[in-house]
Amino acid sequence: MSGRICIPDHEYKERVQRAAAILRRRGLDALIVNSNESDYANARYFSGFWPLFERCGVAISAAGDAALMVGPESREFGGDRNKLDKVFVLKAYREGADPSYPELQADTFHDVFRAIGVTGEQLRLGVASYLDTSVTIMDAIREAFPKAEIVNAGDIMVELRSIKSESEIACLREGYRIAELASQQVVREIRPGMTELQMVGVAQRVIYENGAEYEGLPMYVFSEASTRHAISRSSYRQFQKGDIVQLNLSAKVDGYSAAIGYPLVLGRLEGRRRDVVLFGREAHFWCEKQVKAGVIASDIAKGFHQFYVDNGYGDNYVYGPLHGTGMIEVEAPWVETDSNYALQPNMTFQIDTFISTDTFGVRWEKGIVVTETGCERLSPEIGKLYELDV
C-alpha cells in the first residue's frame, strides 16, 4: 500500500549493525534473541518476522552478519516475511504440540553460526529474551556449543530499543490515532444489555478498517468488579445502567503497539466513586508534568507514590507511574522506585495511572515521547469523563 506508515528496510540493517557494535564492546562473539507469537519483539526488531504457533530467533555475529531461525513449518513464511537474507529451519523452534518431524532434514545452530561467520568452540554467546527462551531452545544452544560461555544479554535489547527512531515514533503515533477511533466508536455504541465482548468486537472492526495489522494488546473492556483487574480479559458480562466501564483499546502498526485507556460511566458518577476516578485523572496529569530528559526515573516513581499517600489514596496504589512502550505495549524500561536511570529524548512511555478499590478500579493511560523540555503526547489527549445518557 503506497504511503503506508512502517519501518523502512534500511533501519533493520542498521539495527543489526548497532547490535554488533555492542557485542564487540562487550566481548561477545554472537547474540541470539528469541521470540514467540505473544512476545515477538526482539526477533522482529531485527528481522520484521512475527512467528505464528512456532518460536523464532535471530542470530547476530560481532562482525554484523545476521540470520533468522524459524520452526519446521515456517520456512516459506519466514522467507517471505522477513528482512534478513539468511533463513534457517531448526527443530528447537517447533510449536508447543512438540511434533518430531522425523522426515525433516533440519538445520542446526552450527549451520547458522557458520553462515554468519562465527566458528570455534570457546565462544562467548549472549542470549536475550531469557523469559521467552524455552528450555528446548536453551538446551539446543548448550548442546551445540558445550564449551561456550552463555550470558544473559537482555540488557543489550533494552539499550537498543529504549531510544526510538522517527520511524518507530511514527508507527506508534498512527497506532494511537487508530486506537482512539476505536474508543470513540465504543463510546457511541455501548448500551446496557450489551456485553464486554461485543464492545471488543466493535473496537476490532474499527482498528482493521483504519489500517492496523492487529490489536496492540488483547482489548480491555471491563465493567464494575472486573475493573479492579490490572490485567484481565473481557467477558460475557452484560452492562447495567450505572456501571463504570474501563476501556483500554489498542492498535498495532508494523509491529508497534499503541493503547489508550480511560473509564466511562453508563449514567452519572457520584460520591466516593467519582472522587476516586477524578483523583486517578489528577495523578495522571501530575505524572505527565514530571517528565523531561535528564530526570531520574526513580524520582518520578517516588513522587508519584507519595502523591497517592498525601491525598489519602495510599492503600489504593497498585503500580506506576510509567512503563516503556514500543513493539510491545508494555516493554522495558519501567519507571519504578528502584529505576536509577535518567530519561532521555525519544524514550517512549505509557503514562499508566491505575487506582483500585475493593469494588472497582480505573486506569487513565496514553503514550508519550520524552523531549528535552518535557514530553510530547503521541496519542490524542485523554481526560474527559464520559458519563453517558443511556
Q: What is the tens place of the pLDDT at every residue in 80-93?
A: 999 999 999 999 99
Rounded Cα distance, 44 and 12, in Å? 9
Q: What percent of the chain has pLDDT over 70?
A: 99
Please give the angle made by the CA atoms of 336, 342 and 348, to the nearest 5 degrees: 75
Average pLDDT over residues 234-255: 98
Q: Would the pLDDT of 30 be above 90?
A: yes
Q: Which of 25, 62, 54 is nearest to 37 (CA)?
A: 54
> Per-residue b/e over 217-255, b at no fewer than 16 CB within 10 Å?
bebbbbbbebbbeeeeebeebebeeebbbbbbbbbbbbb
Euclidean distance between CA atoms 190 and 199, whole angstroms: 7
CB atoms within 10 A of CB 323: 19
Per-residue confidence at 2, pLDDT binned at 50, 70, 90? low
Structural contact between residues 170 and 251, judged by C-beta atoms closer than 8 angstroms:
no
Q: Cα-flanking dihedrals φ and ψ of residue 12, to 5°? A: -65, -40
pLDDT (mean) for 57-66:
98
pLDDT per residue as tens digits for the range 199-238: 999 999 999 999 999 999 999 999 999 999 998 999 999 9
CA separation, residue 334 to residues 11, 177, 330 (Å): 25, 24, 8
- Exposed e or buried b per residue across 358-374, where buried means at least 16 C-beta atoms within 10 angstroms of its C-beta: eebbbbbbbbbbbeeee
**Dihedrals phi, psi of 369, to nearest 5 degrees:** -125, 135
Note the pLDDT of residue 356: 96
* Residue 294 predicted with pLDDT over 50: yes
CB 15 within 8 A of CB 46: yes
Task: State residue 177's pLDDT score.
Answer: 98
Helix (H, G, I), strand (E, B) or coil at 191: coil
Q: Is the pLDDT of residue 1 over 50?
A: no
- What percent of the chain stands above pLDDT 90? 97
**pLDDT over 90 (residue 355):** yes
**Cα separation, 57 vs 49, whole angstroms:** 9
- The confidence band for 3, taking pLDDT boundaries of 50, 70 and 90, is confident
DSSP reduced 3-state for 131:
helix
pLDDT at 320: 82
- The yes-or-no verdict on residue 321 having pLDDT over 90 is yes
Structural domains for the chain:
9-162 (3.40.350.10), 166-387 (3.90.230.10)
Cell numbers placing 4: 503506508
